[in-house]
Chain A
Amino acid sequence: MHDKTLTELAAGLASGAFSSRELTQAFLARIDRLDGDLNSFISVTAEQALVEADRADAARAAGNIGPLTGVPLALKDLFCTEGVKTSAGSRMLDNFIAPYDATVVEKLRAAGTVSLGKTNMDEFAMGSSNENSFYGPVRNPWDPAAVPGGSSGGSAAAVAAGLVPAAMGTDTGGSIRQPAAFCGITGLKPTYGRVSRYGIIAYASSLDQAGPMARTAEDCAHLLGAIAGHDLRDSTSVARGVPDYTQELDTPLAGLKIGLPKEYFGDGLDPAVESAIREAVKVFESLGATVREISLPHTHYAIPAYYVIAPAEASSNLARYDGVRFGHRCNAPEDLMDLYKRSRAEGFGEEVKRRILMGTHTLSEGFFDAYYKKAQQVRRLIRQDFLDAFDEVDVLMGPASPTPAFDLGARKDPVSMYLQDIYTIAINLAGIPGISVPAGFAGGRPAEGRPVGLQILGAHFAEARLLNVAHQFQQATDWHLRRPALAEETL
């Protein structure tokens, strides 16, 4: 069962081929067997999952079902889940049992899905390799020497390894798309405001967005439909109807206008990744799409702008972890200052501290205009680049990452790690949606290479179009069906 897509599993549940309990047990057994090495889960909520599965089976018996009733999935450990540890991958929240559910969690529960647990991640979603987790790094199922990407590395690895058919991730600068690319799965970052952020532990509020990670675009379409929508508890969520994202999946691509941003094919792009992406583009041409080069002239400002805005917001968002009300508190503080200093020094990891320091600095008196204000101006220019591009073409395409998954420990210098996100970060600054789909293999070990992700970008709220384009690609190719050796292992 573990090699089936979420859509196929939903069909199997509907036809009575298996029950939600059987499905849940099968995936729990795989987690039990295989995750010791992968480390993709921080918490496995087996007992609760079986209760939810039984509830789903009972609902099905009563005829009270939706398309996702009884389907198991996992949640990045950034989503608050009532009564379950919600750690954000940090020692700071190792003791934090969330007293409420995030809106996404509520919606998934209402849709009848079954949560198997909480997946590993870079601490507070800060990282591109999942090496910044208090709970240890996650291994890439394609090669245990490689990172799964980050920050939603646990979600990506768990799906790729067949430990769960789908998982929820969040994406602030590429944290869904880059790990999806590294692990050979499909990951969608929706338009900013499409999915409620309520109950998602904040990293950078103006950039954070939740989205689905699964085997196929079709799976993502089902999941996005379940989690999208306006939420009165999130003022930045947009009051706009949620379409049936599966409706347009089969629309033919004849006449589709594709733009290739020349800035996404420049220096630093691994040649093997580039050739995989160019091959993928040919597939679209064979489906009747036209392709032209496009320019996003402010692309090279995206990383500097992001590393001003995101840490600035993070420095403020993470101020609440002070040892006073919840989270890690140091032993026997001498006074208030000591409580603050030691609780935070012990609770936060190095990358989180680095970003808090950067953000605190750029917001400081005398620096604000030169950094934060300037970065916001750049952000508007970057957004305008995309708006201009979408006047010319329907979608943009390029690599999700300049390289395939790199080896654990290979990127010691933080700046080289930041440059990993060169193709994903601008999308968050602009607020547009993007999806990464498997598009071949390149370089490294094993011999056949590591997965390459094709990133497809659309205008604000063009998720249905992106899913359609991705689905058509997956109808014409089988990259998304390839499984790592680990996932082939049956019990």
Chain B
Amino acid sequence: MQWETVIGLEVHVQLATKSKIFSGASTAFGAEPNSQACAVDLGLPGVLPVLNEQAVAMAVQFGLGIHAEIPEVSVFDRKNYFYPDLPKGYQTSQMYHPIVGPGEVEIALEDGETKRIRVHHAHLEEDAGKSLHEDFHGMTGIDLNRAGTPLLEIVSEPDMRSAKEAAAYLKAIHSIVTYLGISDGNMAEGSMRCDVNVSVRPRGQASFGTRAEIKNVNSFRFVERAIAFEVERQIELLEDGGEVVQETRLFDPERDETRSMRTKEQANDYRYFPCPDLLPVVLDRAYVDHLRDNLPELPAEKRARFQQALGLSAYDAGVLSASREMAEYFEAVKEVCGDAKLAANWVQGELSGALNREGLAVQNSPVSAIQLGELVARVKDDTINGKAAKQVFQALWHGEAASADEVIEAKGLKQVTDSGAIEAMIDQVIADSPAQVAQYRDAEPEKRGKMVGYFVGQVMKASRGTANPQQVNALLKEKLDALC
């Protein structure tokens, strides 16, 4: 039987506010346990929450970024359950009236096509603390630094049909929130976490199969692996005549498998009700319009512009718009050199290669966008040839000079296009290579083309790489053929 996979994602994004969603405590990562938890975060008797306006603004910005409806009124609810790192015995969240209504995210598929994934809604909530199981001799430690950190939970519709689409969706969310600057998107530090809902159904069947929710899927790679495992598990189960049970499963990245956490019967009744300590959030139109007017260009728009206005391929446009930093770097290079395609080639070729080798992010590149732009400009105006340009790039990468022109000057890399000078070098090479000339002359005419390479190499060497290769090629052919 042919099976179809159906996937929906719940992505938790930590918002990059300075203070927590309901208190003034700092949200900085990595502090001493419990050093960033105030009376409100500890849930001490008598304390009350006060909503952080910045978290509201960020959530609305996200909503606008996915072209979502922004309801005028949203309401915080309490989600009641006991857990040691949940100080109040409830999580303040938004169950019935979320801050962001239905929207959509465009993802780029591998074939260059795009697909729209619908977002059901996004809501604000507070994060819990952390339970620490090491170093407590069989006991559990509680760190409440993270308690009260603002989260935006983005709930998709079950619109994804493969692990690759799910990963592409997660990347799209990642790039939207980082473009907006509302999250650092750092998955290793838990700034973005993901729960995956997976089901399978016979291809062609209209209704969904029973789904499993996989928790703790916290990297792009894990999303693909967890889905791949889970899909295989479900299909195997069904093909053996079994049934998928609705349950929550945990992804174990070390063993590369999912394990049952709890079934539907064991699920909590969260007893949601409106939080009486917080007023409904009422957003007036002017506030939302102001945020809309100040939105930066987002990845999907950027990708479209790169293709349409700059003439880049779908692939190039996708890669160069994937992160805000990459897009900003590319656009700066393009501005300086004045050639989008050349800029795209250099950013994706030489620069990305070097960054990858050293494990650097583009914003930490030793070669600035302006330096690279000036270098590409010298390629474009034929001041240097491609080979020399790579040398210049290496020199800039290693900090040997401040600009491409300095390197070109210092190393004498300026391209020689004077045909007199080139002819002189060719004559010298021919004179110094009587054996090769004889071979050339004796060869079948159709085999001679390949033999030109030797002479080109010699001439380029003689010019220390500065001769214009096209000119060298053409003149050499002329001269050698004249000898035959």
Contact = CB atoms under 8 A, between A and B. Distances in A.
Given A88-B45, A205-B276, A316-B90, A365 B269 contact: yes
A205 B273 CA distance: 13
B142 interface: yes
Residue from the set B45, B82, B89, B278 with the largest chain A CB neighbour count within 10 Å: B45
Contacts of A96: 45
A315 B44 CA distance: 16
Nearest to A204: B276
Nearest to B37: A325
B51 interface: yes
A368 B77 CA distance: 13
Contacts of A80: 44-46
B84 interface: yes
Given A235-B51, A319-B80, A319-B88, A368 B45 contact: no
Given A205-B276, A326-B44, A368-B273, A232 B50 contact: yes
User: Interface residues of B toward A: which range?
Assistant: 20 to 34
Given A198-B46, A233-B50, 4 more contacts: A99-B44, A236-B277, A315-B80, A368-B271
A198 B48 contact: yes
A250 interface: no
Interface in B131-146: 142
Interface string B31-48: 000000001001111111
Contact of A235 (B43, B80, B82, B277): B277
7 contacts: A235-B48, A313-B273, A319-B90, A320-B87, A324-B84, A324-B87, A364-B269
B201 interface: no
User: Interface residues of A toward B: which range?
Assistant: 35 or more
A234 interface: yes
Contacts of B272: 363, 368
A312 interface: yes
Contacts of B50: 232-233, 235
Interface in B237-289: 269, 271-273, 276-279
B82 A319 contact: yes
Contacts, number: 98
A197 B46 CA distance: 8
B279 A199 contact: no
B271 A325 contact: no
Interface in A204-218: 204-206
Contact of B39 (A86, A99, A200): A99
A330 to B, nearest CB: 15
B49 interface: yes
Nearest to B79: A316
Interface string A186-210: 0000000000011111101110000
B78 interface: yes
A340 B273 contact: no
B276 A325 contact: no
Considering the complex of A and B, which 4 residue pairs feature the smallest CB-CB distances, nearest first? A319-B89, A363-B271, A205-B276, A206-B276
A98 interface: yes
A197 B48 contact: yes
B273 A372 contact: yes
A30 B48 CA distance: 36
A319 B47 CA distance: 14
B contacts with A: majority SS: loop
Contacts of B276: 204-206, 236, 313
B278 A235 contact: yes
Given A316-B78, A319-B80, A325 B45 contact: no
B80 A363 contact: yes
Given A99-B39, A322-B82, A316 B271 contact: yes
A contacts with B: majority SS: loop
B87 A316 contact: no
A324 B84 CA distance: 7
Nearest to A340: B82
Nearest to B85: A324
A34 interface: no
B279 A236 contact: yes
Nearest to A79: B46
Given A235-B48, A235-B49, A316-B271, A325 B279 contact: no
Interface string A308-329: 0000110110111010111000
Contacts of B277: 202, 205, 235-236
B144 to A, nearest CB: 8
A119 B80 CA distance: 31
Contacts of A100: 39, 44
Contacts of B269: 364-365
A151 interface: no
A55 B39 CA distance: 28
A324 B44 contact: no
Interface in B100-150: 142
A336 interface: yes
A322 B142 CA distance: 14
A385 to B, nearest CB: 21
A102 interface: yes
Contacts of B89: 316, 318-320, 322
A93 interface: yes
A79 B39 CA distance: 15
Interface string B8-45: 00000000000000000000000000000001001111
B53 to A, nearest CB: 12
A360 interface: yes
A199 B46 contact: yes
A201 B88 contact: no
Contacts of B271: 315-316, 360, 363-365, 368
A409 B49 CA distance: 39
B142 A324 contact: yes
B147 to A, nearest CB: 11
A216 to B, nearest CB: 29
A312 B44 CA distance: 20
Residue from the set B42, B87, B271 with the largest chain A CB neighbour count within 10 Å: B271
Interface string A80-112: 100000101000010010111010000000000
B118 to A, nearest CB: 27
